[in-house]
Amino acid sequence: MSSNKLMKTYKSDLAPVGFYFDIFTSEIFRIPVMPIPMRIDRLFKGESTFFILPDMIKLNRLINELDLVLNMKSFLLAGIKNLINFAKNKFKEKTFLTLKPETITRWFEKSLELKTNIPSLTDDFTFLFSEFLKFYAYCENQGIDSKNEEYHSELIKYCENVFIYFKERIEQNKFEIENKNIKRIVQFYKEKKDQYYPEIVSVKVKNLKNKIKKMHFVPYLIYDDILDVFSYNKKLLHEGFENKINLKIWSDNGIIYKRSNIEKFNPECDLTKFKLEIIDLEHLL
């Protein structure tokens, strides 16, 4: 099957993708930094993805309060690697071909060009990061590991907190965007005759040449995916699924660790200085 016929993509599709700390490992995702939604269609065609990042100032303030270090570069490298590997596997499964490195590089370089501000996505992914970091800090401070019964209950609380927050966000039906430095509220969906219709939202996006174009996405689908993930994770926990993460996975891979364990603070770990452009894709290919 030709890759051009595999999935239809649109140049005006913003295709936002964020990343979150998952709580289960698998053979494919050994370091469970997971993309959401899993937009592999953009990778197949070498078209851009808009990477959703949290508010670095707020997150930096939180990790200081929690006495933690979060290495955002290591976090995103793990997430992007997972997205690429998943895309490679699916591409081969569907086409019997290998996804070319130049296609992946083109996808990533085009993604880095996109500049826009979507306040609700920034705020809500900040919450998503924050909840996991609070869970992590609590377990570290209380000496709770994955063999402890309380660890299981804390994971359930984490999933419940995220699920409740994003469910309420959808129910409020208010989503904030920004165009030309002017913020405005749009809806997640419209209701008509007891049916819900997700809204397509338009935002103005700037590229590296300062050219501005209008691009579109459906916020509801992102939030619905988050609800599905955390609802499913909570279900697995209640059913006693065993493959829960060991918190050591984050320190072993240089993603999260106690600040007091570092002899010298690494500027790369100061989130306020983080730029997406420092991600080096070459060694992931």
| pLDDT score, position 141 | 94
* Residue 266, pLDDT score: 58
- Does 241 score more than 60 pLDDT? yes
* Residue 177 near residue 186, CB atoms below 8 Å: yes
* 244-253 residue pLDDT tens: 899 999 999 9
What is the mean predicted confidence (pLDDT) over 10-18? 91
Residues 137-149: pLDDT tens digits? 999 999 998 888 8
Q: Is the pLDDT reported for residue 221 higher than 70?
A: yes
Please report the pLDDT score of residue 1 as a whole number: 46
DSSP string, 128-194: HHHHHHHHHHHHHHHT--TTSHHHHHHHHHHHHHHHHHHHHHHHHT-EEEEETTEEEEE-SEEEETT
- Residue count of the chain: 285
* pLDDT exceeds 70 at position 267: no
Give per-residue burial for 110-128: e unless 16+ CB within 10 Å, then b.
ebbebebbbebbbebbbbb
Indicate the pLDDT class of residue 208, thresholds 50, 70 and 90. Answer: confident
Select from 213, 190, 216, 189 the least CA-distant residue to 202: 216
Confidence at 3, pLDDT banded by 50, 70, 90: very low
H/E element holding 84?
helix 72-95
Each residue's pLDDT tens digit, 76-132: 999 999 999 999 999 999 889 899 999 999 999 999 999 999 999 999 999 999 999
Computed over its alpha carbons, how large is the radius of gyration of the chain? 19
Give the full edge-to-edge strand order of the sheet including 33-36: 33-36, 16-21, 50-51
Stretch 40-50: mean pLDDT: 94
